[in-house]
Amino acid sequence: MQWQAVRFRSPLSAYEQQAEQLLAGHRAGDPAAIDLLHRNHPRFLDETIKWRPKFIPDSEIRAAVLSPDDARLAIARVYDFSDWAALTAYVDAVTQDDPVFEFESAVQAVVDGDLAVLADALRRDPALVHGRSSRVCSFDPAVHRATLLHYVAANGVERYRQTTPTNAVAIARALLEAGSEPDALADMYGAECTTMSMLVSSDHPARAGLQVPLVELLLEFGAAIEGAGTKKWGGPLSTALAFGMSDAAKVLAHHGARIDLPDAAGLGFVDDAARLLPSANADARHRALSLAAQHGHPEIVACCSTPARTPTAITPKATIPIRHRCTKRWWVATKRWCGSWWNAARGSISATPSGRARRSVGRAMAAGRSRRRWSSVCARSARWSSSQKRHRNAKYVTGTLAGVFCSPRVTVFDKWSRRRTCEC
């Protein structure tokens, strides 16, 4: 089976048909159906990290006994509803000419890039720019309350609606000129988030080449350059760097965003980093080391490195000792080939959910090192299992080696496979 989102305002029977196809695909052992169930049915998701599929083989999912209600629940979760009842309530609401339909049709115009339909909707009801989503999702919290402008960021909302049309800047400008609040808060990822914080951490506008113009547009209309709300990952500048969005971070710095030591390290501002380093605490130094490694600034890595510091992996959510993110075999292999980890790496592994493995500062620090030995260690983890391939398009928490041997291969750590090796 090949899943494709149904058209907006489709009847409930269209979703029922998808559930029937999913159940038939499961019974036939269709890999696409197995994959969809693995990624969406709560039975096959991690109990702690609720969005992450369990580490189970496909055979276990094929052997599972599923009912039509299980298939309906999986389809509801594909559309990010909490359950089938929430999906049914949504379908009932959008098939009637009421405020929910007006808002959801405007959302669809935003994600589709249909400027004419959006402009017509705003002319009929100018208050739509202040409207809020009422969808009951499987998120935390269940109702994210996003405005139309939040959907431009393509982050924190329904997954199938996280897209960036080619005219996203024109869409955002139309919303802002109609009175949309640039710093309106929505409940996403367990925090209060602005459009800016979602934008600078979103891969979709970055890949479309529109992240920087959208950042500049929000600033033009008065978005707070230091951010608002919970600031779960810090201000917009810190958030952009943590998620690997260096271009967006540079624009924010150019417009006057406050820069602390980790920010200076991620941006590659050597003089600023040297000035701020003596007064920084241990946590700021550690974050600076990791961001400098992540964004490839060897001079700052050298300044921030101290032999007593234990290399760790930095994610926007947690700091995890490197050894806990490696298998014992890989760690022992590293020790055997390279001596101690610190003498070999003189840096850290830094992680970011950017979905892309970046070149490290190893290229700049590799003179006289043994490429062949390091490559042989990395090559041991070059294979992906079928369950790991399933998630290769997801937002990986990836890591890059800092100050290691200049190998054409970079070992990347992620939440599913723990390690993998890819070509630079």
Q: What is the pLDDT of residues 181-198, one digit of tens each?
A: 999 999 999 899 999 999
End-of-domain residue from the set 92, 118, 149: 92
Neighbour tally for 336: CB within 10 Å? 10
Residues 184 and 113 in one domain: yes
Q: How much is the pLDDT for 337?
A: 29
**CB–CB of 221/183 below 8 Å?**
no
The answer to whether residue 392 scores a pLDDT higher than 80 is no
Residues 109 and 250 in one domain: yes
Q: How much is the pLDDT for 50?
A: 84
Domain, as residue range, for 296: 270-423
Residues 361 and 374 in one domain: yes
The answer to whether residue 60 scores a pLDDT higher than 90 is yes
Q: How much is the pLDDT for 251?
A: 97
**Side chain identity, residue 346:** R
- Pairwise pLDDT comparison (256 vs 384), residue with the higher score: 256
Helix (H, G, I), strand (E, B) or coil at 374: helix
**CB–CB of 174/214 below 8 Å?**
no
Handedness of CA 101, 103, 107, 110 (dihedral sign): positive
Q: Which of 370, 357, 372 is nearest to 410 (CA)?
A: 357
Q: Which of 364, 362, 355, 363 is nearest to 399 (CA)?
A: 355
Q: How much is the pLDDT for 306?
A: 57
The answer to whether residue 340 scores a pLDDT higher than 60 is no
Residues 101 and 245 in one domain: yes
% of the chain exceeding 90 in pLDDT: 62
> Is the peptide bond prior to 298 cis by the omega test (within 30 degrees of 0)?
no
The answer to whether residue 395 scores a pLDDT higher than 70 is no
Residues 130 and 50 in one domain: no
d(CA 409, CA 214): 34
pLDDT band at 221 (very low <50, low <70, confident <90, very high): very high
Tokens of 345: 């790496």
The answer to whether residue 44 scores a pLDDT higher than 90 is yes
Q: How much is the pLDDT for 217?
A: 98
Q: How much is the pLDDT for 402?
A: 33
Cα-to-chain-centroid distance, residue 150:
15
- Pairwise pLDDT comparison (362 vs 219), residue with the higher score: 219
The answer to whether residue 131 scores a pLDDT higher than 90 is yes
118-127, 135-144, 315-324: range with lowest mean pLDDT:
315-324
End-of-domain residue from the set 92, 116, 134: 92
Q: Is residue 7 part of a domain?
A: no
Q: Is residue 6 part of a domain?
A: no
Q: Are strands 191-193 and 312-314 parallel, antiparallel or unpaired?
A: unpaired
Q: How much is the pLDDT for 225?
A: 95
Q: How much is the pLDDT for 218?
A: 97
Mean residue pLDDT across the chain: 77
Q: How much is the pLDDT for 372?
A: 34
The answer to whether residue 72 scores a pLDDT higher than 90 is yes
Largest CA distance in the chain: 71
Q: Which of 270, 304, 274, 299 is nearest to 287 (CA)?
A: 304
Q: Is residue 329 part of a domain?
A: yes
Residues 86 and 184 in one domain: no
Instruction: Please report, for residues 40, 63, 88, 304, the alpha-carbon distance to residue 76 in angstroms, rounded to integers and kept in the order given.
Output: 9, 22, 9, 48
Q: What is the pLDDT of residues 298-337, one digit of tens each?
A: 989 888 875 444 444 444 443 333 333 333 333 333 333 2
Q: How much is the pLDDT for 324?
A: 35
The answer to whether residue 25 scores a pLDDT higher than 50 is yes
Length of the chain equals 424
**CB–CB of 149/175 below 8 Å?**
yes
Residues 278 and 220 in one domain: no
Q: How much is the pLDDT for 411?
A: 36
What are the residue ranges of helices labelled H in 113-167? 115-124, 148-152
Residues 128 and 229 in one domain: yes
Residues 280 and 387 in one domain: yes
The answer to whether residue 424 scores a pLDDT higher than 50 is no
Q: Are strands 186-188 and 191-193 parallel, antiparallel or unpaired?
A: antiparallel
User: CA angle 200-203-204, nearest 5°?
Assistant: 110
**CB–CB of 11/91 below 8 Å?**
yes
